[in-house]
Amino acid sequence: MKTKANALLLCILMIASTLAGCAGDDVEVIKTLEQADCDAIGDGYTLDADHNVCVKEVTTTVTDIVGCMDAAADNYNSAANVAGECVVGGCDDSEATNFDAGATYNDGSCSYDQAYYLGKYASGDMSLAVTQEHLENLRMCKEDSLSGVSSACEIVAVTSDIDPPMMDPADAYDTSSGAIIENVYDTLYRYEPSADGTPVLVPRLATGYSISEDGLTYTFTLREGVFFSNGEAFTAEDVRYSWCRVIEYGSPDSGVAWIMYETMSTCDGLVAVDDYTFSATLEVAYSAFIPTIAFWIGAVTDAGTCEANRVITTDENGTVVTDDHCNAYLHSNPIGTNAYVLGSYTPESEIVLTPNWLYWEEGNFNLNKITRTEVAEEATRVNALKDGEVDFGSIPTGNLAEVCLNTDTPTAITGNPDLGTDCGPENSLTVALGIMNTNPTCEDAAGGDDVACNQFMADGEVRKALSYIYDYDTAISDIYDGFAIPLHGPIPLGMPYVETQHPTFSFDLNMAASILDAAGYTCDDHDSDANTPCQRFSGDAIRVFYNDGNVNREANANLLAQNLDAVGIANEVIGEPWGNMLGRMFGTANWDFMFLGWAPDYNDPDNYWFPFVAGADEHGDVYNTQYDNDDIDALLLAAKTETDYTARAALYEQAHDLFMEEPSLIFMCQYLSYHVHSDRVSMPSEVPPATIPWFNVDKT
């Protein structure tokens, strides 16, 4: 209970009289109140200090109501006049993203980000399965659907070949494998397009590095809180182990280890300083070292799982006979720290990627599934894209006009809005090559081991003649429909030192014939039949391989065959599935000629010269041509470590002139690249050697 005094003005008594004076003046008389005036009003009235007002104090009684006076509270009481305890529902967990400091109880509304779940998993407070479940619910793409699209959260692509010959980054060297590896595995650095469209190296599993004064030791600070897709924590030991296995395994099928061998031939210089510090000491200084390990040769896998699945065989004395360094396991079970994992794989049919919910980069997934299907027939791929059945279709230049506009001018190509396609030119450092085996074999008649055959391919004069037999201009105009430019050596336009090359070969069948004649490979009546044309090499046929479904390479093979016939060289054109052809090249010498290409691994001319031309003893010869020239090797080894531009240019010029005297490659052309996909797909421009990670792609 309490009392309140209220001033109540009952009245104001003002008495005024106007009297007339005898002298005739008017006088105003003002009378003030007296207590008697207030008494006359009633009991309890008192005169105020100025004698102007009678007032009376009135006492009222008010009852206290204690209650929650917060209108947002669960127990808000609008009648309360005394503040009491409020009950407020909300998230009372300070680790939640929506923590409410005013909440008095947890109403189940707490939400958490990926850092929270990864932190709980790292501390052991949450199991791997539960962590993955929470992260999936948090990070999965939740778009319902788009008009005409089965799912806005899925990419469907058709291509001429999907088979990855090797999903282990320590022994893979082809684009089909790279399409999987670069989205499953991560590297310390990688290329990404900059704002102005040029490729730049950005940190990934590393956050920074320093270089010793002598330029030999690179010390990396590694990213913390990263996990492999199997739940194992990423540390410096995983980097050391992964790089070391590249060196020790030696990429027997692909030869890709040459990139690591450029700077180190043993594991001695690889050191895990602590969990998040790693150092690599090179045997020779090399300014392009960071670019080389940005390629998937520097990819990192889980050391513990790899070692547990390593297959080693020994003889009766315990001596190691074979050691696969877990290659077979990783080919079937790739384990990395990147955004996706191998969901399923059906050889020569379909390959599916699904999210790695433990992926370290912040943000949710735009795509929950990437499906790539192998379709050899180009018309089927074109129709699937035109009909909106797929998001990507591998479209040859000859079919571009069916899905794109302005295809007569490669730099002006655009999409077709009526078909819903997005087309456009892309920067490219990719080249088309004819690969010549310098020491081929054939199956013997009894079906046993391969035996030497077609040994005329070992003669540099024969390979020089073949370089004149290839019709460069017709290929660019008719096969590539103008989407290519001449290539005069290993280095493409746009790469430093391209000026060290000059045109050497052109299409000239007379020149080819004269070279062969001078070398003793005349065109003779080899079968004593006057009705058959003369042939060289006693009628032995050059075997020309291309991969099935690649219409450009098939057309090149047929064009070459036509011109081989014109100079009297028997030939056989053979199409094989992509994996089979690569297995033939890398695993045997049972071939004479193949049509292939090369996309850059890193931005340096050494990435073209050395793997193309250097001998296998120097870890070059990635195409297994068996070409070997000690003088050229010496020039290329000197060039890779030369820091003076002029001096390095001179070395490449000398190598160019020597190689063109006995080439093992035909430098066919450099692609003018383009992209073709559904306009539902939103993606950044590709800048070589950068690749487009699926995590950065969405459908809008």
DSSP, collapsed to helix, strand or coil, labels residue 16 as: strand
Q: Does the structure show a pLDDT above 60 at 29?
A: no
Count the Cβ atoms, other than its own, within 10 Å of residue 123.
8
Angle at 551 between CA 545 and CA 554, to 5 degrees: 30
Bridge partners for 84 per DSSP: none
Q: Which residue has the tokens 């591998």?
A: 394
pLDDT band at 692 (very low <50, low <70, confident <90, very high): confident
Q: Give me the mean pLDDT over the 436-453 stretch.
A: 87
Structural contact between residues 328 and 311, judged by C-beta atoms closer than 8 angstroms: yes
CATH topology for the 142-160+339-426+676-689+691-700 domain: D-Maltodextrin-Binding Protein; domain 2 (3.40.190)
CATH number of 431-671: 3.10.105.10, 3.40.50.720, 3.90.79.10, 3.40.640.10?
3.10.105.10
Instruction: Say how far apart CA 590 and CA 440 lie, in whole Å.
Output: 6
pLDDT in tens, 236-266: 999 999 999 999 999 998 889 999 998 999 9
The DSSP string of 263-331 is T-SSSTTEEEEETTEEEEE-SS--TTHHHHHHSGGG-B--HHHHHHT--EEE-TTS-EEEE-TTHHHHH
Q: Which residue has the tokens 């003649």?
A: 465
Bridge partners for 565 per DSSP: none
Q: CA dihedral in degrees (119, 123, 126, 129; nearest 10)?
A: 80
18-32, 291-305, 428-442: lowest mean pLDDT where? Answer: 18-32
pLDDT band at 76 (very low <50, low <70, confident <90, very high): very high
φ, ψ dihedrals at 679, nearest 5°: -75, 0
Helices (H) and strands (E) in the chain, counts: 18, 36
Residue 100 DSSP symbol: -
pLDDT band at 5 (very low <50, low <70, confident <90, very high): very low
Q: Give me the mean pLDDT over the 595-616 stretch.
A: 94
| C-alpha closest to that of 605 among 684, 490, 440 | 490
Q: Give me the mean pLDDT over the 160-175 stretch.
A: 90
Residue 601, token pair as written in the block? 């691994």
pLDDT of residue 547: 94
Structural contact between residues 368 and 142, judged by C-beta atoms closer than 8 angstroms: no
pLDDT of residue 62: 74
Q: Give me the mean pLDDT over the 332-350 stretch.
A: 96
Q: Does the structure show a pLDDT above 50 at 22?
A: no
How distant is the alpha carbon of residue 181 from its chain centre?
Answer: 9
pLDDT of residue 6: 41
Q: Does the structure show a pLDDT above 50 at 16?
A: no
Instruction: Say how far apart CA 118 and CA 155 lie, in whole Å.
Output: 27
More confident residue, 685 or 379: 379
Q: Does the structure show a pLDDT above 80 at 680?
A: yes
pLDDT of residue 150: 59
Which residues 6+ apart lie within 8 Å of 277 measured at CB?
A: 219, 220, 221, 222, 236
Amino acid at 604: D
What length is written for the chain? 700
Q: Which residue has the tokens 């809008």?
A: 700
Structural contact between residues 162 and 180, judged by C-beta atoms closer than 8 angstroms: no
Which residues 6+ apart lie within 8 Å of 678 measured at CB?
A: 385, 388, 390, 391, 392, 420, 421, 422
Q: Give me the mean pLDDT over the 511-525 stretch.
A: 96
| C-alpha closest to that of 671 among 468, 493, 501 | 493
More confident residue, 148 or 667: 667
Domain coordinates of the chain in residue numbers? 5-59, 142-160+339-426+676-689+691-700, 166-337, 431-671
Q: Evaluate the omega torsion of the peptide bond into residue 600 and state whether it is cis, within 30 degrees of 0.
A: no
Amino acid at 226: V
pLDDT of residue 20: 38
DSSP, collapsed to helix, strand or coil, labels residue 332 as: helix
How distant is the alpha carbon of residue 636 from its chain centre?
Answer: 30
| C-alpha closest to that of 492 among 599, 635, 650 | 599
Angle at 166 between CA 689 and CA 295, to 5 degrees: 25
pLDDT of residue 14: 39
| C-alpha closest to that of 608 among 617, 599, 616 | 599
Q: Does the structure show a pLDDT above 50 at 619?
A: yes
Enumerate long-range contacts of 104-109, CB under 8 Å, 24 or more apart: none
| C-alpha closest to that of 436 among 174, 610, 623 | 623
Percent of the chain clearing pLDDT 70 (strictly above): 94
More confident residue, 54 or 234: 234
Q: Give me the mean pLDDT over the 612-618 stretch.
A: 94
pLDDT in tens, 529-546: 877 889 999 999 999 999
DSSP, collapsed to helix, strand or coil, labels residue 397 as: helix
Q: Is 20 exposed, middle or buried (0-12, 13-18, 19+ CB in 10 A)?
A: exposed
Residue 2, token pair as written in the block? 């309490």
Bridge partners for 320 per DSSP: 314
pLDDT in tens, 87-131: 999 999 999 999 999 999 999 999 999 999 999 999 999 999 999
Q: Give me the mean pLDDT over the 374-386 stretch.
A: 93
Bridge partners for 346 per DSSP: 350
Which residues 6+ apart lie within 8 Å of 204 measured at CB?
A: 186, 187, 188, 189, 190, 223
pLDDT of residue 146: 52
Helix 645-659 × helix 630-641 angle, to 10°: 160
pLDDT of residue 145: 57
DSSP, collapsed to helix, strand or coil, labels residue 244 as: helix
Bridge partners for 393 per DSSP: 158
Helix (H) or strand (E) holding 374: strand 369-374
pLDDT of residue 540: 95
pLDDT band at 149 (very low <50, low <70, confident <90, very high): low
pLDDT band at 623 (very low <50, low <70, confident <90, very high): very high
DSSP, collapsed to helix, strand or coil, labels residue 428 as: coil
Which residues 6+ apart lie within 8 Å of 536 measured at CB?
A: 516, 521, 522, 523, 524, 567, 568, 569
pLDDT of residue 376: 87
pLDDT of residue 12: 38
Angle at 281 between CA 276 and CA 284, to 5 degrees: 150
pLDDT band at 665 (very low <50, low <70, confident <90, very high): very high
Residue 198, token pair as written in the block? 């040029």
Instruction: Say how far apart CA 517 and CA 511 lie, in whole Å.
Output: 10
DSSP, collapsed to helix, strand or coil, labels residue 617 as: helix
Structural contact between residues 27 and 17, judged by C-beta atoms closer than 8 angstroms: no
How distant is the alpha carbon of residue 620 from its chain centre?
Answer: 26
**Mean of the per-residue pLDDT values for the chain?**
91
More confident residue, 261 or 14: 261
Structural contact between residues 670 and 487, judged by C-beta atoms closer than 8 angstroms: yes
pLDDT of residue 30: 56
Residue 228, token pair as written in the block? 């492999």
More confident residue, 47 or 307: 307
Q: Does the structure show a pLDDT above 90 at 525?
A: no
Class of domain 166-337: alpha beta
If DSSP states are collapsed to H, E and C, what string results for 626-684?
CCCCHHHHHHHHHHHHCCCHHHHHHHHHHHHHHHCCCCCEEEEEEECEEEEEECCEECC
pLDDT band at 563 (very low <50, low <70, confident <90, very high): very high
157-166, 311-320, 587-596: lowest mean pLDDT where? Answer: 157-166
Angle at 143 between CA 139 and CA 149, to 5 degrees: 130
Residue 227 DSSP symbol: B
Helix 114-123 × helix 128-139 angle, to 10°: 180
Q: Which residue has the tokens 């190509």?
A: 413
Q: Is 18 exposed, middle or buried (0-12, 13-18, 19+ CB in 10 A)?
A: exposed
| C-alpha closest to that of 447 among 590, 563, 254 | 590
